[in-house]
Structure 1
């Protein structure tokens, strides 16, 4: 019978408005993500927004503002675990961080809608969409700017392709050359490269490295009869 006692048409209408707002706004954000074929698309963003709105709306009806504040804190931490699930690491790069951040923002919008802050939720939706759309041309323009090794924090990586049978000799040659150039080695990875070759990936410690010296080092490595190919690449520090 408690369920019948809890029925209040005005509060029910208020909850409907909150959940409907979360549904629509989460759908707007999710549509943009779905259009760009992201991991978390339309349904995921809607569910996150509506779910957050349900929790906060329920907390407000049962525990008042204090209850809503406590539940909102749990929503923030809970969505953090959900966002971690869409972040993937592959081939030394990290993907899905923007998707995870969008899910986090969808939860915030749902939380605002659940707390009856409808205009605030609409305003937040505008800014989330602006971040994912209006800022995209600026990001693309910045990414097209060549990396300045002197102005950026970079990790320099040397790649060497060599016969597997010459592994120890090539590693000794590399260590000797790095010592001559005073470049400390931070990490060394060796992976198969075809059936009879290996790739040695030497990551240098972050230090003041001259690109001309790096080119000279690579030139000397390529002159080594035991090295099939050598090159270096900068890697940004995340």
Structure 2
């Protein structure tokens, strides 16, 4: 097979496998979507090819060895902290894995790279269902309640928390004149959390709720 045609095949495969993973990320509205993931796969493939050419037989990993380090900075850019959790870690891991696929294609390991891409898609598309099921058994939320000091809001809220079989950790208590604002970190099954929130929304002794 002609060498130039071989390079073209590697580039196209890098675009194909990177695009499949990117399409899944784009469908879910993630930060690193279709075009980004293609460019990561293609760039890793090209860097690996150039590494073998520039480094020669004596040092073929001259450039490729730095791909892992460089892709780490790119992955860090999609991680951000929300109100209750850190988001973007799965997308960052996807970037890291797709870069490995691109390196595999650049090195000529087509079958291994193809299998890796299929497994990445399996983890992202199929295992997310099981992740949601596991997460539903032990969710965590920050719950803030404001009410009149005389209503003993802390005791009443904690009784509701126990009645719904939830665990709670007191985070903060603030008093403003005759008003008190209390914040808890509550954990438990998603159904119990929803039942507790519905009950708290209807409680007359609570004047303001954030959860």
Task: Say whether the fold is shared (TM-score over 0.5).
Answer: yes
What's the offset of the Cα at 1:159? Answer: 5.0
Which secondary structure state, in structure 1, belongs to the residue aligned with residue 2 of structure 2? helix
Structure 1 length normalisation: TM-score?
0.61
Instruction: Show the counterpart of 2:81.
Output: 89
Instruction: Show the counterpart of 1:108.
Output: 100
What's the offset of the Cα at 1:225? Answer: 7.7
What's the offset of the Cα at 1:59? Answer: 1.3
Which secondary structure state, in structure 2, belongs to the residue aligned with residue 233 of structure 1? strand
Aligned counterparts of 2:30 and 2:69: Cα–Cα separation in 1? 22
User: 2:101, 2:117 within 8 Å by CA — same for their partners in 1?
Assistant: yes
Deviation by residue 1:55-109 (Cα, 9 ceiling, x = unmatched): 1011112324654433222000000000111111122421111111111111110
Aligned counterparts of 1:158 and 1:138: Cα–Cα separation in 2? 26
Instruction: Show the counterpart of 1:38.
Output: 30
Q: Kindly name which structure, 1 or 2, has the bigger radius of gyration based on alpha carbons.
A: 1
Work out the number of aligned pairs and report it: 172
Unaligned runs of 5+ in 1: 1-8, 148-153, 164-210
Unaligned runs of 5+ in 2: 149-164, 188-211
Tell me: CA distance 1:64–1:123, structure 2 relative to 1, closer, same or farther (3 Å): farther
Alignment of 1:62-77 (within 5 A): 62-64=54-56, 67-77=59-69
- RMSD across aligned C-alpha pairs, in angstroms? 3.6
Instruction: Show the counterpart of 2:11.
Output: 19
Instruction: Show the counterpart of 1:127.
Output: 119
What's the offset of the Cα at 1:10? Answer: 2.4
Structure 2 length normalisation: TM-score?
0.68
